[in-house]
Amino acid sequence: MAKKSYRTAINDALRSEMRRNPDIIILGEDVAGGQGATGDVGVVGSVFGVLGGLYKEFGPTRVIDTPISESAIVGAAAGAALTGLRPVAEIMFVDFVGVCFDQIYNQAAKFRYMFGGKAKTPMIIRATIGAGFRAGAQHSQSMHPLFTMVPGLKVVMPSNAYDAKGLMIEALRGDDPVIYLEAKTLYDTEVEVPDEAYRIPFGEARVAREGKDITLVAFGPMVPRALAVAEAVGKDGISAEVIDPRTTSPLDEDTILESVEKTGRLVLVDESPPRCSLASDVAAIVADKGFKSLKAPIKSVTCPHTPVPFAPVLEDEYMPNPRRIEAAVRAVMKFD
């Protein structure tokens, strides 16, 4: 099986599903690129190149460049979904969600419930997340807790290319609004990815590494970091299990609780400010439903309660980094 990048895996999923289902359209800023300009159209394919070649294959009726108008992009996607299309809207950086959040949480997420179950809103909002790009406070956030707390939305955080493809296909075949969060730092990472289509159900966590002494639950781009720390502490005889929930809504509570039942120890790794984060959410769930399993307090490794800083030394410290994750693991292991 060929290795493919995270970027190519998402492209593969969109391309094959668009071939299969003519109701899928893409809209957003520079999803083609070059409209109205003097050179070629379709040469951008989204700012990180995820949509490369799609304009060429599907043309301007299906790969639709829009003005820089996030409310209109998301709102149009919601209206198109409500009337029979399956739009894939792009918010270039998730930080821009502030200007269009109404259309997400008040409109698209609520249609089905408010309308008594008579509506379906099959749409996907793709957005890039994460720090580490030296992009400053307004291009580096993750925001996944914000979406996770909204009833009516599903939230997907792929941590590798294989999952990225299967989760995208699952999103494209479902009937609910999905927030699909792409980690910028993972775009060039590669794993083996089948050419054919496959689905990964939402709400089914992946046990990324088996272990018996301590459980690490990590989200999206934090999964590779948790795995690296698990390898490192393994050299000292600590057997760490790493769980990748893949989706934060729905959340696979059972796999997490089963793992903690086995290990008795839990560290959460979440690239988010600490309050009302996935880390605090999962900690609360385990404290509530898995209290008897715990041999030590739950520790969370998150970002501090600050905006994302620009200076590289500050940003590196801001993100949950291997040093901080390893310190948390060792502290939990030492607890008696």
Partner 1 sequence: MQLSRDELKRAYQRMFTIRAFEERVEKEFAAGNIPGFAHVYLGQEASGVGICHDLTDEDLIGSTHRGHGHCIAKGCDVKGMMLEIMGKAGGLCGGKGGSMHIADLSKGMLGANAIVGGAPPIAVGAALTQKYKKTGRVSVAFSGDGASNQGTVFEAMNMAVVLKVPAIFAFENNGYGEHTAASYSVGGGSIADRARSFGMPAEVVDGVDFFAVHDAMGRALEHCRAGNGPYALEIRCYRFLGHFVGDPQAYRTADELKEARANDPLPLFRKKVTEAKLLEAAELDAIEKAILAEVEDAAQTAIAAPPPDLKSLEKDVYARY
- CB nearer to partner 1: pick between 38 and 83: 83
Which of residues 112, 126, 144, 165 is near partner 1 by CB under 8 A?
Answer: 112
Q: Is 72 in the site for partner 1 (CB under 8 A)?
A: yes
- CB nearer to partner 1: pick between 86 and 299: 86
- Catalytic residue at 305? no
Q: Is 114 in the site for partner 1 (CB under 8 A)?
A: yes
Specify the stretch interacting with partner 1 by CB under 8 A; choose among 42-50, 61-69, 305-313, 321-329. 61-69
Taking Cα atoms as reference points, which of 204, 195, 308, 183 lies closest to residue 256?
A: 204
- CB nearer to partner 1: pick between 170 and 315: 170
- CB nearer to partner 1: pick between 139 and 154: 154
Of the candidates 4, 110, 126, 139, the residue annotated as catalytic is 139
Residues β-bridged to residue 142: none
Which of residues 10, 18, 51, 77 is near partner 1 by CB under 8 A?
Answer: 77
- CB nearer to partner 1: pick between 174 and 194: 174
State which of positions 218-257 bind partner 1 (CB under 8 A).
250
- CB-count exposure of residue 179 (10 Å: 0-12, 13-18, 19+): buried
- Torsion sign across C-alpha atoms 183, 187, 190, 193: positive
Spell out the SS3 assignment of 128-154: EECCCCCCCCCCCCCCHHHHHCCCCCE
Which of residues 9, 44, 54, 78 is near partner 1 by CB under 8 A?
Answer: 78
Q: Is 80 in the site for partner 1 (CB under 8 A)?
A: yes
- CB nearer to partner 1: pick between 171 and 266: 171
State which of positions 150-169 bind partner 1 (CB under 8 A).
151-152, 154
Least Cβ distance, residue 201 to partner 1 (angstroms): 10
CB 186 within 8 A of CB 223: no
State which of positions 124-153 bind partner 1 (CB under 8 A).
151-152
Cα separation of 244 and 252, whole Å? 10
Which of residues 16, 47, 48, 79 is near partner 1 by CB under 8 A?
Answer: 79
Which of residues 55, 58, 96, 111 is near partner 1 by CB under 8 A?
Answer: 111
State which of positions 170-189 bind partner 1 (CB under 8 A).
174-176
Specify the stretch interacting with partner 1 by CB under 8 A; choose among 10-18, 46-54, 60-68, 137-145. 60-68
Specify the stretch interacting with partner 1 by CB under 8 A; choose among 37-45, 63-71, 132-140, 141-149. 63-71
Question: Could you list the active site residues?
Answer: 139
Write out the residues near partner 1 by the rule CB under 8 A: 25, 61, 64, 66-67, 69, 71-85, 87, 99, 102-103, 106-107, 111-120, 122, 151-152, 154, 174-176, 203, 250
